């Protein structure tokens, strides 16, 4: 796909989200996509290699939460993988300080390579488990927003996310269909960790993707003992 074909599809899809995109940002999106698809021939970083699907399922889907990010100064994307939703949000919001975290460094090295090629600034890329990083005082309760897409069940991810969020900030969980039972199971975890469910948005992205966005407001500080170490958020989620 050349950049003109990319631009046509991208602009058509993005117009549904009411997001303004500049010419240089379209180039950044295009070059990021081409870079990931090229890396994917050497290391498996995404299952999505069809370009139209890539635009919809990676870029447009990531930008469904843009309206929450526009008015924020800082965001941490936990379990970012190949940079989703963090990189699309960074391209659209160049002045927001964005931190990407993942426990697997090989994908982060790809993001490091591509983000410098497309000149992204105010972007920090950290190789760590979320639960270790959140216990460091320079990261704890320092962010307006924490995001996760496709990382784990809701009880687990709120323990990864809420410790990073400032009181009054948001934890934004991007979930697929069938999230309701998980959310019921996570009520206690959300409360203990200082969160309160503010709203749930359900929408379709492209023709087949059902996206549910769970917005959790941080209403009080997270007790110091959370997140717990030794993979406890995953193995023994708060119930």
Site string for ligand SAM, 42-71 (x = CB under 6 A): ------------------------------
Residue 174 CB coordination number (10 Å): 21
**By C-beta, is 47 or 168 nearer to ligand SAM?**
47
What is the DSSP code (8-state) at residue 144?
A: E
84, 143, 164, 179: which one contacts ligand SAM (CB under 6 A)? Answer: 84
Q: Is 239 helix (H, G, I), strand (E, B) or coil?
A: coil
Q: In angstroms, what is the minimal distance from the CB of 112 to ligand SAM?
A: 15
Residues in binding contact with ligand SAM, number by CB under 6 A? 18
Across the chain, the runs of DSSP E, i.e. the strands, are 74-78, 97-102, 123-127, 143-149, 165-175, 195-205, 209-218
150 binds ligand SAM (CB under 6 A): yes
What distance in Å separates the CA atoms of residue 231 and residue 113, rounded to the nearest whole number? 29
How far is residue 43 from each of residues 30, 32, 35, 47, measured CA to CA in Å?
20, 16, 12, 11
Q: Does 222 bind ligand SAM (CB under 6 A)?
A: no
Q: Which is nearer to ligand SAM, 151 or 190 (CB)?
A: 151
* One residue of 21, 36, 65, 101 binding ligand SAM per CB under 6 A: 101
Among 8-16, 101-109, 203-211, 218-226, the segment contacting ligand SAM (CB under 6 A): 101-109
Q: CA-CA distance, 68 to 42, in Å (whole number)? A: 35
Sheet of 97-102: strand order equals 123-127, 97-102, 74-78, 143-149, 165-175, 209-218, 195-205
Q: Using CB under 6 A, which of 21, 76, 114, 151 touches ligand SAM? A: 151
79 binds ligand SAM (CB under 6 A): yes
Contacts with ligand SAM by CB under 6 A lie at 78-82, 84, 101-104, 107, 129-131, 149-151, 160
């Amino acid at each position: 796909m050349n950049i003109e074909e990319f631009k046509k599809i991208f602009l058509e899809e993005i117009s549904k989200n009411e997001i303004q995109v500049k010419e240089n940002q379209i180039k950044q999106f295009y070059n990021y996509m081409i870079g990931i698809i090229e890396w994917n021939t050497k290391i498996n970083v995404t299952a999505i290699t069809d370009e139209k699907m890539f635009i919809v399922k990676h870029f447009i889907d990531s930008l469904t939460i843009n309206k929450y990010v526009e008015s924020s100064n800082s965001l941490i994307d936990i379990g970012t993988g190949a940079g989703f939703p963090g990189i699309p949000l960074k391209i659209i919001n160049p002045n927001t300080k964005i931190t990407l975290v993942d426990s697997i460094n090989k994908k982060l090295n790809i993001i490091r390579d591509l983000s410098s090629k497309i000149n992204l600034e105010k972007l920090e890329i950290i190789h760590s488990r979320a639960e270790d990083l959140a216990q460091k005082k320079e990261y704890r309760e320092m962010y307006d927003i924490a995001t996760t897409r496709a990382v784990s069940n809701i009880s687990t991810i709120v323990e990864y996310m809420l410790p990073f969020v400032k009181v009054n900030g948001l934890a934004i969980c991007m979930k697929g269909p069938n999230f309701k039972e998980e959310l019921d199971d996570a009520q206690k975890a959300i409360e203990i960790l200082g969160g309160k469910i503010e709203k749930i948005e359900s929408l379709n992205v492209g023709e087949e993707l059902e996206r549910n966005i769970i917005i959790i407001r941080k209403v009080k500080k997270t007790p110091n003992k959370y997140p717990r170490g030794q993979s406890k958020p995953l193995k023994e989620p708060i119930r």
